[in-house]
Structure 1
Amino acid sequence: MNQEQLTTLLRTLLQFGGGIAVGRGWIDADTATALTGALVTLLVTGWGLYARRNAGLVASAAAVPAVKTILADPATAQAIPSAKVQPAE
């Protein structure tokens, strides 16, 4: 799932939950909108930081069929379950 798909899913789920909360009178519509925007921003930022860590970037590169070998530091190479990722010596 890419970041755009994740953002859309989160926004839809939060809007659904916000609609229920507004319908039951727990919060007003403006609060639901503010909470949805804040939560989507925080969650997508967290996902972006996680996906762009060194091991995540190397794993993404290893998944590309045209990539034959990747030399990485030993800790990163050990963290990636791919024969394409080799420790740099």
Structure 2
Amino acid sequence: MNQEQLAALLRTLLQFAGGIAVGYGWIDTDTAATLTGALVTLIVTVWGLYARRNAGLVAAAAALPAVKTIVAAPETAQAVPSSKVRPSE
């Protein structure tokens, strides 16, 4: 699942939950819209930071069929479970 798909799913789920909360009278529509926007922004930002860490970037590159070998720092190579990634010497 890529970041755009995750954001769309998250937005839909939060809008659904917000609709239920508005329907029960727990919050008003403006609050629901504000909370949905804020939560989607925060969650997608955290996901983006996690996916773009060194090991995440190397793992994504190793998953590409065109990539044959990746030489990485030893700590990054150990964090990526792929036979394509080897530590630098």
TM-score by length of 2: 0.99
Q: Could you list the structure 1 runs, at least 4 aligned residues long, displaced by more than 2 angstroms after superposition.
A: none
Looking at structure 2, the residues matched to 58 and 50 of structure 1 have their Cα atoms a distance apart, in angstroms, of 13
Matched residue, 2:23: 23
Structure 2 counterpart of 1:33, which letter?
A
Looking at structure 2, the residues matched to 34 and 25 of structure 1 have their Cα atoms a distance apart, in angstroms, of 16
Matched residue, 2:73: 73
Looking at structure 2, the residues matched to 87 and 68 of structure 1 have their Cα atoms a distance apart, in angstroms, of 14
How far off its partner does 1:62 sit?
0.2
Provide the identity percentage: 80
How far off its partner does 1:42 sit?
0.2
How far off its partner does 1:46 sit?
0.3
Indicate the SS of the match to 2:27. Answer: coil
Matched residue, 1:8: 8
How far off its partner does 1:43 sit?
0.2
Matched residue, 2:34: 34
| Structure 1 segments unaligned to the other structure (5+ residues) | none
Looking at structure 2, the residues matched to 66 and 36 of structure 1 have their Cα atoms a distance apart, in angstroms, of 39
| Structure 2 segments unaligned to the other structure (5+ residues) | none
Matched residue, 1:57: 57
Superposition RMSD on alpha carbons, in Å?
0.4
User: How many residues matched?
Assistant: 89
Structure 2 counterpart of 1:15, which letter?
Q
